[in-house]
Amino acid sequence: MDITGLRQVSVPVTDMDRAVGFYRDTLGLRHIATFGSIAFVDVGGVRLILEAGGAEQGASVLYLAVADIAAARADLVAQGVEFVDEPHVIFHDEGGMFGEPGLSEWMTFFRDPDGNMLALSSRQPPA
């Protein structure tokens, strides 16, 4: 078997209109379609399924790649998003295990309106 990427991820939501608005308007992702109790959002070629009445809230973590973590965080804070931490280095990739060698993996975490955890993730030169 040859797994080539992530096709889709589902997250449970309690209010479909509010969830679609958050992912589309606040995060700026493209809303593909809504069919009854599920909606599809494009995250850089990966489908995010918003599923009303789905599994237990908080069961997924979405890691959203951004070029500039500080600027992306500031944009979301300006839209009322509350973060649970400050951007911080998770891993310094000296050997290039996850991409270009010598870069640090930075992350900062926040929640959507249903309590699902999300993270902004950026690979940057060491500070």
Residue 56: its pLDDT value, please? 59
How far is 77 from 74, CA to CA, in rounded Å?
Answer: 5
Note the pLDDT tens digit of each residue in 9-68: 989 998 999 999 999 999 999 999 999 999 999 999 899 999 987 655 556 788 898 999
Residues 101-120 as b or e (16 or more Cβ within 10 Å = b): eebbbbbbbbebebebbbbb
All CATH 3.10.180.10 domain ranges of the chain, comma separated, are: 1-52, 59-127
CB 13 within 8 A of CB 114: yes
Per CATH, the architecture of 1-52 is what? Roll (3.10)
Tell me the C-alpha distance between 107 and 13, whole Å: 23
Is the pLDDT at 98 greater than 90? The verdict is no
Q: Look at residue 7 in the predicted model and tell me its pLDDT.
A: 81
Residue-wise pLDDT for 61-89, tens only, equals: 888 989 999 999 999 999 999 999 999 99
Nearest to 64 by CA among 81, 46, 80: 46
- Range scoring the smallest mean pLDDT among 34-38, 79-83, 95-99, 104-108: 95-99
Tokens of 43: 């995250």
C-alpha separations of 6 from 23, 47, 92, 98 in Å: 18, 9, 24, 15
Q: Among the CATH numbers 3.30.360.10, 3.40.50.720, 3.40.50.20, 3.10.180.10, which is that of 59-127? A: 3.10.180.10
Q: Where are the alpha helices (DSSP H) in the chain?
A: 16-21, 69-78
